[in-house]
Amino acid sequence: MKRKEVWLGLLAAFILGIFLSPFASQSPDGLERVAGDRGFLQKEEENPAFRAPVPDYQMPGIGDRKIARALAGALGVAAALGAGYGLARALKKKD
Amino acid sequence: MHLPDGFLSAPVWTSCWGAAALGLSVCIRKTQEALQEKMVPLMGVMCAFVFAAQMLNFPILGGTSGHLLGGVLAAVLLGPCAAVIVLACVLTVQCLVFQDGGLTALGANIFNMALIGTLGGYFVFYGVYRAFGTRKGFFVAVALGAWISVVLASVACAFELGLSGTVELKRVLWVMAGVHALIGAGEALITAFVVEFVARARPDLVAGLQGKTSL
């Protein structure tokens, strides 16, 4: 039925996450920019209690920043796919 | 506009967690009621696609960048409540795996982007589409809903910063809305392009085209 669309959508997501994300703009985003301009950027918690395994979309231990970001993109797309599919599957079962 | 830890005061971020939990529980219940088998893989794919698209920062004016939120994109394709769940999923992965957005601030980020932005943008889309009632109107409604979703989320974010005492509200409200009005133009372009592409290839996969309100 919708198998083709599902695979095409996934392919698009992996291509964007792996091959395009290393070339994304590195400029501060809207909130970071406003935080800098309005002088509250330093309020960001430097040592949060929780540390994510792949901070800043850079796979640890990889020297090249673009490759590190491509790998982070692959991991993230897979994780998001698993989370979304898993959650939808769990919601469906309870019918 | 992912809030990191430290930008919000404890009363504000705990309140946001409460509001996010309440909104999510309503959306989960509504999604459960109407979730069809064919939508299960589509929700997974939408999560993956929105995550990837959010990594693609595009430059706007003055050394600032923005990226797609994807809330209205998901809402027009899957329905508003399923879209809220998709966005919450993406924000959670970004927070837990990539430190993008703080863990204490995750409730606020879900509230701003998954709930306020996605649902607010969807209601604008829905109202405009109903008012036009044409295929061309659908395209305009998608773009307008996408644009306003980013501005609404940024306004919610500004209010939280103001209430937290991080910065005076009047010093942050208009500048946040202004910057995100520009980023929202990118959101409108990308959302309209992707929705149009799907609507031409598979109109049956576009929930919003049928004017469905629930799910």
Nearest to B172 among A38, A43, A84 (CB): A38
* Among B81, B37, B84, B30, CA closest to A92: B37
Give 3-state DSSP helix, strand, coil % of chain B, rounded to 5: 75, 5, 20
Using a CB–CB cutoff of 8 Å, tell me whether B9 touches chain A: no
Query: Is B1 part of any domain?
Result: no
Distance between A78 CA and the closest CA of chain B, angstroms: 7
Residue B11's pLDDT is 98
Query: Is B56 part of any domain?
Result: yes
Query: Is B51 part of any domain?
Result: yes
Give B103's contacts in chain A (Cβ within 8 Å): 48-50
Has this prediction a pTM greater than 0.80? yes
What is the chain A residue with the closest CA to B151?
A30
Using a CB–CB cutoff of 8 Å, tell me whether A90 touches chain B: no
Q: For residue range B107-150, what is the model confidence (pLDDT) as tens digits?
A: 999 999 999 999 999 999 999 999 998 989 999 999 999 999 99
Q: For residue range A40-77, what is the model confidence (pLDDT) as tens digits?
A: 999 999 888 888 999 999 999 999 999 999 999 999 99
Residue A55's pLDDT is 94
Count the Cβ atoms, other than its own, within 10 Å of residue B212. 13
* Token output for B91: 């924000």
Using a CB–CB cutoff of 8 Å, tell me whether B76 touches chain A: no
Q: For all residues of chain B together, what is the average pLDDT?
A: 94
Q: Which residues contact B141 (CB under 8 A, 6 or more apart)?
A: B124, B125, B126, B127, B128, B129, B132
Residue A1's pLDDT is 44
Structural domain harbouring B137? 10-210
Query: Is B106 part of any domain?
Result: yes
The residue written with tokens 């404890």 in the block is B10
> How sure is the predictor about A2, in pLDDT bands with cuts at 50, 70 and 90?
low
Q: Which of residues 130-169 of B touch A (CB under 8 A)?
A: 154, 157, 161, 166-167
Nearest to A88 among B44, B90, B96 (CB): B44
Q: Where are the domains of chain A?
A: 3-93
Distances (CA, A) of B153 to A42, B119, B143, B148: 22, 10, 16, 9
Q: What sign has the CA pseudo-torsion A83, A86, A92, A94? A: negative
User: Number of folded domains in chain B?
Assistant: 1
Residue B215's pLDDT is 41
What are the DSSP calls for B14-82, one per residue?
HHHHHHHHHHHHHHHHHHHHH--TTHHHHHHHHHHHHHHHHT--EEETTTEEE----HHHHHHHH-HHH
Nearest to A17 among B5, B52, B180 (CB): B52
Query: Is B5 part of any domain?
Result: no
Region B39-63 average pLDDT: 95
- Judged by CB atoms closer than 8 Å, whether chains meet at A80 and B56 is answered as no
Nearest to B44 among A38, A85, A95 (CB): A85
CATH number at residue B79: 1.10.1760.20
Give B161's contacts in chain A (Cβ within 8 Å): 40
Residue A93's pLDDT is 64
Distance between A92 CA and the closest CA of chain B, angstroms: 6
Count interface pairs A-B at CB distance under 8 A.
Answer: 217
Q: For residue range B182-213, what is the model confidence (pLDDT) as tens digits?
A: 999 999 999 999 999 999 988 888 888 876 54
ipTM: 0.95
* Among B13, B19, B22, CA closest to B105: B13
Give B159's contacts in chain A (Cβ within 8 Å): none
Beta-sheet pairing, B64-66 with B58-60: antiparallel
Query: Is B92 part of any domain?
Result: yes
Give A82's contacts in chain B (Cβ within 8 Å): 44
- Judged by CB atoms closer than 8 Å, whether chains meet at A77 and B52 is answered as yes
